[in-house]
Amino acid sequence: MLRAPDDADTRSRVTAWAEANPLILFDIAAAISDAGGSWPAEAVTRAAQETAGGVKAAAPADVRAAFEPLLLGRDVDSALEWIRETGLLAALFPELEATVHLQQEGDRLHKDVWNHTKLVVKQAVRRPWVRWAALLHDIGKVPTRTFTEHGVHFHGHAEVGARMFDKLAQRLPFDRDHRRAVRFLIRHHLRSNQYSEQWTDSAVRRFRREMLPHLGDLLALSRADITSKRPGRRRQILEQIAALETRMEALAEADAKLPPLPGGVGNAIMEAFRLPPSRLIGDLKRYLEAAVDSGALEARREDAYYVAALARDGKVPGVDPEVAAALIAAGGLVDGDAEDADRAEAAGDLAGPLPEVEPTGHDGDPDRPHDGPAPCGPDEHGH
């Protein structure tokens, strides 16, 4: 189709094919993405413009399956611009169409969100969920854009974008794991770019723990999100992300050499629950070690933290509810409903405070330096 002649017959044939099966237009876009980025003849593009609205009537699962191949091509930026030119973008993703010509910086009119998005997708690793997240990571900038005397700002756009993706995913069904991954990456795409050497070791550990199992994809998206042409700025952010990665690896290696639980936790368990020495104490410690290994609990915390976890999880039989509540509170844990926790995890949200609130006066663009100190994450106590 990319080599079809630019004549009325081509336009007529493509129109007929697209009217019969509008998803064929995404096959053309995928060919653009895979074949060097060259567009087809004007006759093909005109036919696509006339029939683009037909994709709205196609089965949502078929639309997503037809769209994804173009998203994974090497020249995806050219393919994305072609679907915008034909009207397919507006028909399928009005959230993205709204970013076209959306100004990101008051002093640089050329840097609009859509052009930035196309480049981020092109630079992203070719894993489906990472490319989807790259495509949609800035949709929250449309409703959050504000103007002040200091410029253009998009405070909270990552959180808003994640909620917008929830609605989009109702139109285009994703399987559960991919939906979670895409939402998570959109929701947290600013996190690694806010790293500073001022972060404590506890903050770095907490970042790593909370970003798993999507840590590698998040760092890949963060690298792709750097589109600055200013000398040294790209290198500066890449070095910042590399420093975070190196520090996480060093801490993980050091932590692996240390026991996960404090030495006196067995005595603390017996005292808190009024238990005699028995095999049960060993079973409870093994339960805690497994929880630490899975990431459900933090390693090397105070005794009260692990006692609270046992009380919260109901691992010691016959404990009075009031006593259990007091132990949970003393350890700083919340006795939440497991079903609610699962729903929160499914949505991609994390419990606890997150070191990702954008500083006042900063728009969240990783290409721009923060106006003031970068957030250093939670302190040594996890606050």
The DSSP letter of residue 299 is: S
How many Å is the Cα radius of gyration of the chain?
Answer: 25
Domain ranges within the chain, ordered by starting residue: 1-92, 265-336
Q: Say how many CA atoms lie within 13 Å of 205 toward its Cβ.
A: 20
User: Residue 338's pLDDT is what?
Assistant: 40
The pLDDT value recorded for residue 191 is: 94
Among 83, 78, 50, which Cα is nearest to 66's? 83
User: Which runs of E-coded beta strand occur in the chain?
Assistant: 103-105, 108-112, 146-148, 151-153
**Cα(334)–Cα(133) distance, integer angstroms:** 31
User: Which three-class secondary structure state does DSSP give residue 238?
Assistant: helix
| pLDDT score recorded for residue 298 | 87
Q: What is the maximal distance between C-alpha atoms in the chain?
A: 90
Q: What is the pLDDT of residues 268-282, one digit of tens each?
A: 999 999 999 999 999
Instruction: Answer for the pair 96, 139: CB distance below 8 angstroms, yes or no.
Output: yes
Inter-axis angle of helices 113-123 and 76-86, nearest 10:
140
What is the per-residue pLDDT for 335? Answer: 52
pTM here is 0.76
Q: Which residues of the chain have pLDDT under 70?
A: 103-111, 335-383
User: For residue 152, what pLDDT is reported?
Assistant: 83
Quick one: pLDDT at residue 383? 36
pLDDT at position 366 is 56
Task: Provide the pLDDT for residue 299.
Answer: 86
Distance CA 270, CA 98 (A): 61
